[in-house]
Amino acid sequence: QVQLVESGGGLVKPGASLRLSCAASGSIFRINAMGWYRQAPGKQRELVAKITSASSTNYADSVKGRFTISRGNAKNTAYLQMNSLKPEDTAVYYCNAEIRSALTYPWRDYWGQGTQVTVSS
């Protein structure tokens, strides 16, 4: 049993900043990677950023230089610092984690419930 809980979304004006948080809890042996995805109305879900247990990162071209993903000290949390927000960033943002609950268990993907980010003047 694994749960991901997201927070930090909201309504902001263009150019503002938001910091999203994701906390994983439950039966966790190891977290290999965590990431953030987003889905805007009428569009496919897309990868925004991800970070591995070795702290390697990957970003969508549209957010490079503006967004930063990081892991908490306990390694069961992930953050997405979003600066210089644009209307095009408006979407539901979902936390994703690749987790196994025991050494012999397979890696599985888990998803949070999503948090709304709206950027509008």
pLDDT in tens, 47-56: 999 999 899 9
3-state secondary structure of 88: helix
Residue 74's pLDDT is: 78
Could you tell me the two tokens for 51?
A: 């970070």
Q: Quick one: tokens of 69?
A: 């993903």
Let me know if 49 is exposed, middle or buried by CB neighbors in 10 A (0-12, 13-18, 19+).
Answer: buried
DSSP 89: G
Residues of the chain with pLDDT below 50 are none
